[in-house]
A and B are shown apart, each in its own frame.
Chain A
């Protein structure tokens, strides 16, 4: 069946999953539903200790068995030890058919690949995957479908009951004996625990895993004791050097600075750039450069940002300290500056992933965004973006908050160099649609800027602005004139992955890769 972004979703996938095809970014507005609920074991007897000696023992206590769904968060990023530690024990116990529902998975989790191959793991649900897990999925080694969800879409799936988590394993930088978890302090400080909150609230069993046990009560807690069944103390839950690094030096790449400058000029010429505006940006070189140059103009004009949202890095914290941002609202910390800021600055707040981006709650923070600055691997002439599948057809990225913020913001800006190496980033059809073009307003490249024709108001606002405006088709044509129009990536027939829209419908499917055949 063809969906609203023109993708043909095979009937078999619809039958296997019971899912609907994507019908538009706002199609589910006003729909009602009943939330799912976990099975809770009441801990009435105050003599019961929640402390458990080992992962193996806690697995037994939680009743681990074949076919279960277990969950993890990705606040430790590439420094995470928790996923591998838990999976190793499950593997040793000979448990099969596990589905992992993680907020994201990275290269740090390459060691679970053999468990995909031997059937320990049969399902993966994540914002994205990288490295060898992506290869394993794209080469058809995972028995079930890999489901790729946005950050908001994951919480929605949990709250609507599309996925039911049997056991949630939550790595906590600090925790007390009764399960109050904080992201601040400890050896593996990650700033916030936003993505893990839904797991704690909706999983049947919740296990806190920490390497820093602190005296009771560990307050203010990111995740409260009332959700936690067991607490396990291990030696290390992560590698601090890979959880957060010092702030990246601002880029000196003139191409990125140029795109950042275009972005800033665009932003300040929209009607949304006024005192109290709301803004989210990423951590790429161009995003950070545009935050810095925007900060200068805010200072000059005496305009303050009311809200800075999302994954936070040093440059946004600097603006907060300088008084140019009223409040930072945080779901993930990308560097040590951000971790320090959320711990110390009273105007830097931690929120849950549901508050951040869940499309089916009663209004997420993303809905209040004026601007979001995003990146993309590919953008097509319908402004659809692909942030997950690379030019070899391999799953190698993450949706993150891309589709959520794009749908929420009044002005969604995607920055992408026209050419990614020798692959055109602006093309006729993206390999895979992850963010629908109806939610993308502006594409900024090093060769020019295209405004989505759906946004005649923005086109009108820019009519006297001296920026290199072009149509998206013109940008594509320039790209093709330089590197040629690439042949579409070739795939096999079998569907290995589902790109789930944030509302739970199917945006696109990813098929098994097919080795390139020379004529």
Chain B
């Protein structure tokens, strides 16, 4: 299994693949993933130039462990197949399908990836897929999409296009995105996949941004799409477990291991009733704390 399927993805930062100044060293800001964009950020007559720049970035730049996702153009455009060839030739980590509406879209991309992988001698399965849901149909088909391929690690909401399709707009209240967020996270979890929230574009409203990240974390999302490095620290901070949470999770993991050996199924930790069902969540908290560099225990 490709270990990237379940890697930590708290922040996924959009970068125009055509802009050398942006893509030369975004890793210094320490996002979990970067998303090199061939789609909306790139003008129609610049697609070739962007692919060229992307290929050389993927080949030449050491991104120091940051995941390199590439957003390809939609399947309704003449660009996506060539985009996939470049992604595979450059050996990115993942491909993000824009405007995904069905399992068939995912399978079409996977088939095209296979062709390119054969062409460039790349092992099948080494490059993963994620699906951007940008329409009502896409959101309705979230479960079908999430289960379409074992290479698909998760789905992400694209709020701008989605609200247009919904015949409303981004209001800043989150009301218009409530249904999509709920449906998607439920579908993704049901499929055992990750789920990512849409971008927050008002860079001057850092308080609003923080509130939104806190909300989507509460809803169960794995991470947030980011449009500026300023948003990374806040996102990671929100997704970093508190000291209290870490201590509790550590106790749960240790107690479950200990009690399991003694044949005890239900017990209490700090006055709370705990059973084996708490184990994965507690493990995740520890992993998250490790990723954030705040865990100093021995688990």
Contacts and interface: CB of A to CB of B under 8 A. Distances in A.
A465 to B, nearest CB: 14
Nearest to B61: A482
Interface string B220-264: 000000001110000000000000000000000000000000000
A30 interface: no
Interface string A236-258: 00000000000000001011011
B29 interface: yes
B230 A446 contact: no
B28 A252 contact: no
B25 interface: yes
A81 interface: no
A481 B24 CA distance: 12
B219 interface: no
B25 A252 contact: no
A447 interface: yes
A93 B20 CA distance: 53
A254 B203 contact: no
Binding site secondary structure of chain B: loop
Interface string B6-46: 00000000000000000011001100000000000000000
Contact of A447 (B28, B61, B203): B28
Nearest to B204: A252
B146 to A, nearest CB: 33
Interface string A435-450: 0000000000011000
A254 B25 contact: no
Given A252-B203, A252-B230, A258 B29 contact: yes
B201 to A, nearest CB: 14
Interface string A480-493: 01100000000000
Interface size class of B (residues with CB under 8 A): 10 to 19
B84 to A, nearest CB: 28
Given A254-B228, A254-B229, A482 B25 contact: yes
Most-contacted residue by chain B among A254, A446, A447 (CB, 10 A): A254
Interface in B251-287: none
Contact of B29 (A252, A254, A482): A254
B230 A258 contact: no
Interface in B36-68: 61-62
Contacts of A419: 24-25
Interface string A246-278: 000000101101100000000000000000000
A482 B60 CA distance: 9
Contacts of A257: 230
B237 to A, nearest CB: 14
A482 B24 CA distance: 9
A212 B72 CA distance: 65
A40 B62 CA distance: 67
Contacts of B62: 481
A479 to B, nearest CB: 11
A428 B230 CA distance: 33
A245 to B, nearest CB: 22
A255 B28 contact: yes
A56 to B, nearest CB: 51
B254 to A, nearest CB: 27
A258 B229 CA distance: 10
Contacts of B25: 419, 446, 482
A258 B28 contact: yes
Contacts of B230: 252, 254, 257
Contacts of A446: 25, 28
A464 to B, nearest CB: 13
Nearest to A466: B293
A447 B64 CA distance: 12
Most-contacted residue by chain A among B28, B62, B203, B230 (CB, 10 A): B28
Interface string B51-94: 00000000001100000000000000000000000000000000
Nearest to A257: B230
A481 B203 CA distance: 33
A446 to B, nearest CB: 5
Contacts of B24: 419, 482
10 contacts: A252-B203, A254-B229, A255-B28, A257-B230, A419-B24, A419-B25, A446-B25, A447-B28, A482-B25, A482-B61
Interface of B: 24-25, 28-29, 61-62, 203, 228-230
Interface of A: 252, 254-255, 257-258, 419, 446-447, 481-482
Nearest 4 interchain pairs by C-beta: A254-B229, A446-B28, A254-B230, A254-B29
Given A254-B229, A482-B25, 14 more contacts: A252-B203, A252-B230, A254-B29, A254-B228, A254-B230, A255-B28, A255-B229, A258-B28, A446-B25, A446-B28, A447-B28, A481-B62, A482-B24, A482-B61
